[in-house]
Structure 1
Amino acid sequence: MKFIPHTGTTAFASYLAINLPFAPVADVRQRLERQLGRPLKHRDEAHITVITPPEFVRLQPYLAIDEINRIVADSIQATRFKVACTGRAQAVLEGELHSTYFLVVDSPQLHRIRDRIALLYKQTGGPLPAFTEDYHPHITVGFTHRDLYAADGAIKDRRSCLKNAV
């Protein structure tokens, strides 16, 4: 699958991701929907975020997204990863229980990509740290209302694994 740069001029439009085929993730979502007995909202695409939009906002004064894309464009799509489990994060927002479902991913290569970018950030004068330590690679499968993020209290690592999920 081809690398697709995610660049934009609006807030949170620039980020770095590995683009993935959607069909396998859609299959997981459909099995999960049968198991849950309800449909899930989704984005009709699949990816693993490597640099989040808020992280890019912090990097931006020192590194342009185009520069980051140039560094990884030839190799990012070949990044190896393993799916560890299906996870779920939940939060009560505005009095309603919101749930998001995702595939927890293990990939030392993803962490090395982030380390390379953090080093370049430091070399161009960026104050450390470039990234927070709570990077948890995952593939979003679907959600009840909207996707949940760390700011919502969502933890998307092995602690979120469901026992009997697809």
Structure 2
Amino acid sequence: MRIIPPLLCGLIFGAGLLISGMVQPTKVLGFLDIFGAWDPSLAVVMAAALAVSVPGFMLAGRRSRPWLAGKYFWPGKSGIDSPLVAGAALFGIGWGLVGLCPGPALESLATLSPGIIVFVVAMAAGMMAHDAWQQSRLTAQRERLLASATDG
């Protein structure tokens, strides 16, 4: 039963991507081509997403707990730091080169296009490499803390 709300959210998200045409890389690349044949339709999609999400976050912020979960999972950090900037830059570079971000890429897997499959595999490999790197950093940090606690 707990799977139904996220499933419905995913279906609505996927339907929105299909209806808006955001699963077409040419549509996204047209938006990014500001000095050529610029296509502003992605800006409309972004504005609509903000129009829905901002009131939703404001409403959620007033509640002590969510409707369908035991607690909220708000981000722990709110500042801009170098990992955020690096991640945003990598995301933007990939988006600009290919015209896809993770949601539309996963939805486009249904086409069985070799290029999409390669993109999704590379994206998953990058995510796994990032997770492994983060885990190794945390492990090294814990070992340093333990070593300094036993030494001092």
TM interval, short-chain normalised = under 0.3
TM-score by length of 1: 0.25
TM-score by length of 2: 0.26
The structure with more radius of gyration: 2
Compare the two structures and name the one with the higher strand fraction: 1
Compare the two structures and name the one with the higher helix fraction: 2
